[in-house]
Amino acid sequence: MSLAVELRLRVHDLVETYGRLLDEDKLEAWVELFAETCRYEIISRENREQNLPLSLMLCDNKDMLRDRIFSLREANIYNIHRDCHVIGLVRVTQGVGAAFAATASYALFQSNQEGDSRLFSVGRYEMDLVEDDGRLLIARQIVVVDTGAIPTLLATPI
């Protein structure tokens, strides 16, 4: 085992926090899990495999991510559902220097105001992490989705 136990647990906690903050609708706190220089992208598995640059959502810096959350908050139709992320086993790998990579599959369930729950999206997180001043942050999050239908406008992050 090349990676220290403590590092693995810290990565585990970061991924757990990522899903929980989304579920709790704490989107502003969720943004703060990202490094200042960051990228957030949702892409279909098909496009990912073919290296096509077509994203379902793309924020290539943190301000853009903040703007997106701000827009969601302003939109009237926002929050007509509740998210529940169930994230599977996390794989952690060492990158170069203070960089790490993590991946995990997820299932995202959404429940409407009547309490009906449905499978909304399944896929895989591919995260690049950096250590910044003792804190682990997300430098790049690629959400590779198997599920195709994602409303492109006003969707909450996955």
Binding residue (CB under 8 A) for a second copy from 47, 101, 109, 126: 109
N-term to C-term CA, the chain: 31
The owner of tokens 């198997």 is 146
Interface residues for a second copy in 47-106 (CB under 8 A)? 82, 84-91, 103, 105-106
| Structural tokens at position 138 | 């997300």
Encoded one letter per residue, x for contact with a second copy by CB under 8 A and - for no contact, window 29-48 reads ---------------xx---
Closest C-alpha to 24, from 16, 34, 36: 16
Q: Is the dihedral of CA 47, 48, 51, 54 positive or negative?
A: positive
User: Please, which residue, 121 or 141, has the CB nearer to a second copy?
Assistant: 121
| Structural tokens at position 67 | 């703007």
Binding residue (CB under 8 A) for a second copy from 80, 96, 149, 153: 149
Kindly state whether residue 133 participates in binding a second copy, applying the rule CB under 8 A. no
Assign 30 to helix, strand or coil: helix
Footprint of a second copy (CB under 8 A): 1, 5-6, 8-10, 12-13, 15-17, 19-20, 23, 44-45, 82, 84-91, 103, 105-107, 109, 111, 114-119, 121-124, 146-149
